[in-house]
Amino acid sequence: MAIRKIITAPHPVLRGKAKKVTAFDEELHTLIDDLIETMQQAPGVGLAAPQVDVPLSVFVAEFGDPDDEDAPLQLYVVVNPKITKTSKETESGVEGCLSIPKVVGEVIRPYAVTVEGHDRDGNPLAIEAEGWLARIFQHETDHLHGVLFTDHALRVWEPEVDVGQVSSAD
């Protein structure tokens, strides 16, 4: 495993559409392991392959139970994700991004989503998420379509303290 360099805006890969993964091989496994290590070292709660200059449709996320800070973090690996269902209920939250350092923004997103895709070995998966986890999945899936959180933000600002990343976004 290796820590990869996280690219920042306005790098053109961040605005491109990621390519569908077709080979669930050792090269993909290495990318996924590197994404996990890079995300954890950053630190962040999510990271999409385009953020490390690899235009493939893959993201990783790590999130724990917000009501139980002693609960272990759950690691998610989603290849070729699609958001197949969104709730009508929305929620406003503050997001940051490892590819847009030192800026946060207020973003309204659906409160709950269903994400379908594949695991690292190509097995189909479907994850129902709500709250912050749903926000993370939406933020990371946006990266795979060349969309940044600032495109959705009602307002953006520089936080008074250096938080690295804020709330649930990468």
The residues annotated as belonging to the active site are: 140
- DSSP characters for the chain? --PPPPP-TT-GGGGSPPBPP---SHHHHHHHHHHHHHHHHTT-SEEEGGGGT--BSEEEEEE--TT-TTSPPEEEEEEEEEEEEE-S-EEEEEEEETTEEEEEEEEEEESEEEEEEE-TTS-EEEEEEEHHHHHHHHHHHHHTTT--HHHH-SEEE--SS--SS-BT--
